[in-house]
Amino acid sequence: MVEQQPLPPAPSLGSTFMDVFTSPSEVFQSLKGTASSAKLWVVPLIISILTAILVTSIIATNESLHGQVIDQQRIALEKQVEKNKLTRENADIQMDHLEKSGTGLFIAFGSIFASIAIAAAYFIAALFLWLADKALLKSAEGYGKHLELYGISSWIGVLGGIITLLLIVGLNSLAASPSAVLAVLGNYEATNDFHKVLSALNIFSIWQTAIIGIGLSKFSGKPAGTGIAVACGLWVLWIAVSIFLGLAR
C-alpha cells in the first residue's frame, strides 16, 4: 500500500499579503497544490468586516453623512410607494423608526448587516469561482483553495475600502468612491441604474477581479488572459444581478 505524501505547506499570511500587490502570479502559483490554510481567508475576512464596521460608525456619527442615509432611504421608500410595493402608511412607519433610531442602534444594525453581507459574499464568491474554474478551465483545485484565492485577493478590496472611506469623508458624500461615479458625484442618484453602473466601475474592484483571474489561471494551468476573462465575466454578471435585485448602492 502506497502511503499518501503530505501536501506542502501553504504560503504564509505575511507573504501572501505582500505578494498579492507585487507578484500575484507567484503567490497563486505557490498556493496551488498546498495544504489548506484557513488563516489565508479568515484574516482578510475579519479585516474586511472591521473596515465595514469602521465605515458604518463614521457615517453614523457624522451628521451630514447620516442625513444622506436618511434621505436615500426616504427616496427608496417613495419609489416603492409609487410602484405600489408599499403602502403610504407602512412607508411612514419605517421612516419614523429610521429617523428616531439612535446612533448606537444605527451602528449595531449596520455592523450586523455588513458583517453578514461580507461573510456571505466570501463564501458565495468562492463557490462561483470554484464552479467556473472547474467547469470552464478544468481546474482540479477544490472549493477551499478558491476560498483562499478570494481571501488573498480581498486585501486589495480592503485597501479600496479605506480609500473609499477617505473619499466619503473628504468629499462629504456617501456616493464617493474611486470609481467612474466621481464624474456625476454632484448629481448622483442612488436609484439611477446608470449611476450604479458608474459606481461599480471601481478601480479597486477591477484590480481585484484581474488578480482573481490570474489566480484562476494558475490553478488551472491556463494563460492569464483566459483566467482574467472568466473572472471579468463573473464580475459583470454580479454587477448586473446586484443592480437588478437592488443590492448595488
Q: Give the pLDDT confidence score for residue 133 in this predicted structure.
A: 96
Q: Give the pLDDT confidence score for residue 1 in this predicted structure.
A: 42
In the beta sheet, which residues pair with residue 179?
202
* pTM score: 0.89
Among candidate residues 210, 229, 27, 234, the one with its CA nearest the CA of residue 125: 234
Query: What does 55-115 look like in DSSP terms, one character per residue?
Result: HHHHHHH-HHHHHHHHHHHHHHHHHHHHTTSS-HHHHHHHHHHHHH--HHHHHHHHHHHHH
Among candidate residues 220, 215, 209, 214, the one with its CA nearest the CA of residue 136: 220
159 to each of 52, 70, 205, how far by Cα in Å? 12, 27, 11
Q: Give the pLDDT confidence score for residue 72 in this predicted structure.
A: 83
Q: Give the pLDDT confidence score for residue 91 in this predicted structure.
A: 80
Helices marked H in the chain: 13-22, 24-31, 39-61, 63-82, 88-100, 103-136, 143-171, 193-200, 203-220, 224-244
Spell out the per-residue pLDDT of the chain, length 249, in tens: 445 678 888 999 999 999 999 999 999 999 998 999 999 999 999 999 999 999 999 999 999 998 888 888 888 888 888 888 888 888 878 887 777 777 888 889 889 999 999 999 999 999 999 999 999 999 999 999 999 999 999 999 999 999 999 999 999 999 999 999 999 998 888 888 899 999 999 999 999 999 999 999 999 999 999 999 999 999 999 999 988 877 666
